[in-house]
Amino acid sequence: MTPLQYLSPSSRVTRFACTILFTAVLAACGGNDDDTPEGDAVVLKADRKPFPLVEATIEGFHAAMRTGDVSCRDVVQGYLARIAAFDADASTAYPDSPALHSVIATNPDALAKADELDRTFFKTGKMVGPMHCVTVLAKDNFDTYDMKTTAGSLALKNNQPPDDAYVIKKIRDAGGIIIGKANMDEFAFGFTGSSSVGGKTKNAYIPANSAGGSSSGTGTSIATNLAMIGLGSDTGGSVRVPSAVEGLYGLRPTLRLVSQDGIVPLAHGQDTAGPLCRQVQDCALVMDAMAGYDSATGSGQRNAKAWDAPLVGSAAAYASMTMQPATYMTSLSATGLKGARIGVVRGMFPTANANNQAFIDTLNAALEAMKAAGATVEDVDISDRTTILTGYSSLSTYEFRDNLTEYLSSWSSAADAHLRTTEEVATALETLEPDRVANFKSYVTAGTNKEANANYLRNLKPRDEYVIPRVTAALDNIDFTTSQSKGMAYDVLVYPVLQGFNSTSVNSGSNNRLSPFTGFPALAFPAGFVKSKDTSTSVEPVTFEMIGRAFAEPTLFKLAYGWQKTTTARVPSPLAPELGAK
């Protein structure tokens, strides 16, 4: 990859004497009022062709910018046009819209930000950061100072946070543009992909099928190329499940790697945020921005943490704990599978039958391809696996009540009149969403006096003490009962995200619990696409998940990139072709 030149934040050009013109004369636009030495201007071609957005990558986009074949405005305008054409209900302008309902709102300032970035780039030849003009759709539980954050609920329609979530600010500082907010399961409850604000999100491959959840809108919007990158949150499977049904790469990072500041919570003891991408390298690049020490002046470190983990006291302590590389991009290797050791947890595969044989065949074919690429692939099991996956429960049932109140009370309601407690939200839902209030109130009840709830307490320290050593033993290839080595350790364990093909209700099973119950990172990646039995023209994805040790994101990216270079697994969504294509 060709290195890019970046402007430091202090040297970004913010004021200019002339109006931007998206022609070759743009490069001559003056008015730089700082003292930063300028590089070579880039000339934007007047006769440039529309930049193709279907399956676009950050690397390809930036390369086209450097040759003057595309501007930031071109790309932002293009994605906004795609959202209008494919996401909204059918209209006179777009009578054939599939009405995906994956985007709740678009950013009214997106084009102005694009113009600002163009002025900088075409004058100086430098990008403001590695995410220069990378369009991002953030799940609507990430705070954005310039757009409301509703978590999909009418009860939070007034929620206007005064500042960005930590990760949103870092992405903007790296040059990214938050082009809009993605639909989601309301309050991140479940995998149905439906909210009162955004409606029900459709699947990008078979519209009647589930879009997964709770990051449903993020998954569908990225699979249909409505932005370059998507952001989701994952408490029990909410990044990996939509990635699975949309054929994407989706990372649930190690707990405590990514700050939870400014993200509407479900359970602080399990919550984290991660990217959903069409290409591994794009996920690695956005993770460079998302990870980092959140000093959170006045309130201590606010990185995601396990239920009893102490707050991280300094940037040095964070660096020591996470072992974060200078950039995750250095993890990528086209031969990343060569020499890798992969443990396949066959017990987490579905039982073969006539309905899922093609699903299992696709998984097995992918494993054979990994072997051919130089990986050692061996069957393993996790001691007491059934108890791990079905004998414990998520913390979300118990922690949501207190965590939501903490979030809502973190800024004044003087300006936006937002509700400030979970109980106030429950009262508002009685009128606004009577069909959803009972489910919401069940979380309120379960979270009241949770410290006296025996089941909640069992899913704290006892769960950690049971689950983590057994999963670690499987990774280390050690017999958990005898502590005897069974051979060389594995880099990752691999198993399917889902328990079979997707349908109107996602078949998520319990495999997604392994990562949140350990706090270890897990990456969903497409094993392949098969022809759907539901229609003669559509395909549907089959998706693996790989889990590694704590803070092993570089290993996950290395192996996934090696897989990506080995396969042509990903197939574009048939619902959202290139605009203007015949």
Least confident of 108-122, 426-440, 564-578: 564-578
| Mean per-residue pLDDT, 506-527 | 95
Least confident of 107-121, 177-191, 311-325, 462-476: 311-325
Q: DSSP class of residue 208?
A: T
| Mean per-residue pLDDT, 224-251 | 98
What the block records as the tokens of 409 is: 């009370």
Distance, CA of 142 to CA of 296 (rounded, Å): 16
Q: 364 pLDDT exceeds 60?
A: yes
Distance, CA of 497 to CA of 515 (rounded, Å): 11
Q: 403 pLDDT exceeds 80?
A: yes
| pLDDT band for position 4 (cuts 50, 70, 90) | very low
Q: Which long-range contacts (CB under 8 A, 24 or more apart) does 416-425 make?
A: 416/158, 416/159, 416/160, 417/158, 418/156, 418/158, 418/159, 418/160, 419/155, 419/156, 419/158, 422/447, 425/153, 425/155, 425/156
Pick from 189, 155, 165: nearest CA to 396: 189
Q: 296 pLDDT exceeds 90?
A: no
Q: 259 pLDDT exceeds 80?
A: yes
Residue 326: how many other CB atoms lie within 10 Å: 7
Q: 299 pLDDT exceeds 80?
A: no
Pick from 9, 2, 208, 203: nearest CA to 120: 9
Which residues, in sequence order, are bridge partners of residue 556? none
| Mean per-residue pLDDT, 304-315 | 78
Query: Which residues have a catalytic role annotated?
Result: 139, 214, 238
Q: 554 pLDDT exceeds 50?
A: yes
Backbone conformation region of residue 344, classed left if phi is above 0, alpha if psi is from -120 to 50, else beta: beta
Position 25 scores a pLDDT of 31
| pLDDT band for position 39 (cuts 50, 70, 90) | low
- Do the beta carbons of residue 524 and residue 510 sit within 8 Å? no
At CA 482, angle to CA 478 and CA 485, rounded to 5?
30
Residue 357, CA distances (Å) to 347, 366, 385, 503 in order: 16, 14, 23, 16
| Mean per-residue pLDDT, 56-72 | 98
Q: How much of the chain exceeds pLDDT 70, in percent?
A: 91
Position 568 scores a pLDDT of 81
Distance, CA of 339 to CA of 476 (rounded, Å): 16
The string over 143-178, giving b where at least 16 C-beta atoms fall within 10 Å of a residue's C-beta and e elsewhere, is bbbebbbbbbbbbbbebbbeebbbbbbbbbebbbbb
Q: 230 pLDDT exceeds 80?
A: yes
| pLDDT band for position 304 (cuts 50, 70, 90) | low
Residue 317: how many other CB atoms lie within 10 Å: 14
Q: How much of the chain exceeds pLDDT 90, in percent?
A: 85
Position 533 scores a pLDDT of 75
Q: For helices 280-290 and 553-566, give the axis angle rounded to 10 degrees.
A: 160
Q: 513 pLDDT exceeds 80?
A: yes
| pLDDT band for position 16 (cuts 50, 70, 90) | very low
Distance spanning both ends of the chain, measured CA to CA: 32
Position 305 scores a pLDDT of 64
| Mean per-residue pLDDT, 13-17 | 29
Q: 18 pLDDT exceeds 70?
A: no
Pick from 543, 493, 498, 542: nearest CA to 520: 493
| Mean per-residue pLDDT, 254-277 | 95
Q: 565 pLDDT exceeds 50?
A: yes
| pLDDT band for position 35 (cuts 50, 70, 90) | very low
Q: 32 pLDDT exceeds 70?
A: no
Position 93 scores a pLDDT of 87
What the block records as the tokens of 78 is: 């293009």
| pLDDT band for position 520 (cuts 50, 70, 90) | very high
What the block records as the tokens of 392 is: 């414990």
Pick from 244, 247, 22: nearest CA to 117: 22
Least confident of 44-48, 122-126, 301-305, 525-529: 301-305
What the block records as the tokens of 398 is: 């118990």
Position 313 scores a pLDDT of 81
| Mean per-residue pLDDT, 307-332 | 90
Position 37 scores a pLDDT of 39
Position 580 scores a pLDDT of 79
- Do the beta carbons of residue 88 and residue 79 sit within 8 Å? no
Pick from 127, 21, 111: nearest CA to 73: 111
| pLDDT band for position 561 (cuts 50, 70, 90) | very high
Residues contacting 399, CB < 8 A, separation 6+: 265, 266, 267, 268, 269, 447, 450
All structural domains of the chain with their residue ranges: 9-394+460-566, 396-458
Superfamily assignment of 9-394+460-566 in CATH? Amidase signature (AS) domain (3.90.1300.10)
Q: What is the pLDDT of residues 321-358, one digit of tens each?
A: 999 999 999 999 999 999 999 999 999 999 999 999 99
Q: What is the pLDDT of residues 371-388, one digit of tens each?
A: 999 999 999 999 999 999
Distance, CA of 103 to CA of 458 (rounded, Å): 38
Which residues, in sequence order, are bridge partners of residue 528? 542
- Do the beta carbons of residue 218 and residue 100 sit within 8 Å? no
